[in-house]
Amino acid sequence: MSFVALIPARLKSTRLPNKPLADIGGKPMIVRVIEQALKSSANQVCVATDDEQIKSVVEAAGYAAILTRSNHPSGTDRLAEAVEHLGLPDDAIVVNVQGDEPLIDPSLIDAVAAKLIADRSLSMSTACHAISDQADFLNSNVVKVVLDAKQRAMYFSRAAIPWPRDAFMQDQSALPAGLIALRHIGIYGYRAEFLRTYQKLSPSCIESIEALEQLRVLWHGYTIGVHTSADVPLAGVDTPEDLARVRDAFARLTKI
């Protein structure tokens, strides 16, 4: 399996300033993410950043980094610039590994890449897992996805979808038996050709309403294949509390 893992990283974060450089067990978070990505089947791992400090830290650790513009509206646009820097051919597969996921499972990275390798009709790929908790299903911060028969995304939403109308008319205290409710996992795979195309796609009304960038892809008629993971992935780092939890996890791993 041949693909490139690209890790977009920027220093600006409202909830956790300088997040990529936060120390986790003696190493910056961004280096921990790279180390996890290197455990996947990727034949190349590279950080795409708009900050010289991040680039220097990555290179000092012996890894690759690309300096990109600072005015990209999204991580996807940053990856599109990185694809040009790397000179990747249109058929190259790129997996976007978030720079705040130091505990990401390397097999999940492989699974997202494998979706695109197996089906050339797909422009993008991503992942999901089953929702078993009623509170998560109703939580607007939990992004849901509904799939078609070919395991492609039909729609992403912060709303509770698919809505079990008849069952919930009787009882909303628990999820009804047989409901297939899926939580979206924020990891994406792309063909390099589509990353070049994405920059030219106009924003859609549904992505602004839901605040979900991936809806632009569906709005313009492109397909997203979805891998359903049997495991619930470990959460990334968004807050100081998340950082403390991840530091504890690495401390436990060091003792093993």
Q: Which residue, among 101, 71, 95, has the nearest Cα to 83 in the 3D structure?
A: 95
Q: Evaluate whether 114 touches 105 at the Cβ level (below 8 Å).
A: no
Beta strand segments in the chain, E:
4-9, 23-24, 27-28, 44-49, 64-67, 93-96, 124-130, 144-147, 153-157, 182-191, 224-229
Q: Which CATH architecture has domain 3-126+182-254?
A: Alpha-Beta Complex (3.90)
Residues of the chain with pLDDT under 50: none
The token pair that represents 209 in the structure block: 């309403």
Supply the pLDDT for residue 174. 87
CA–CA dist 218, 196 (Å, integer): 16
Q: Which residues contact 150 (CB under 8 A, 6 or more apart)?
A: 225
Residue 24's pLDDT is 93
Query: 194-245: per-residue pLDDT in tens?
Result: 999 998 899 999 999 999 999 999 999 999 999 999 988 888 898 889 999 9
Task: Map out the domains of the chain as residue ranges.
Answer: 3-126+182-254
pTM of the entire predicted model:
0.92
| Backbone CA torsion sign across 172, 175, 179, 182 | positive
Q: Are residues 237 and 91 in contact, defined by beta-carbon separation less than 8 angstroms? A: no
Q: Residue 46 has what pLDDT?
A: 97
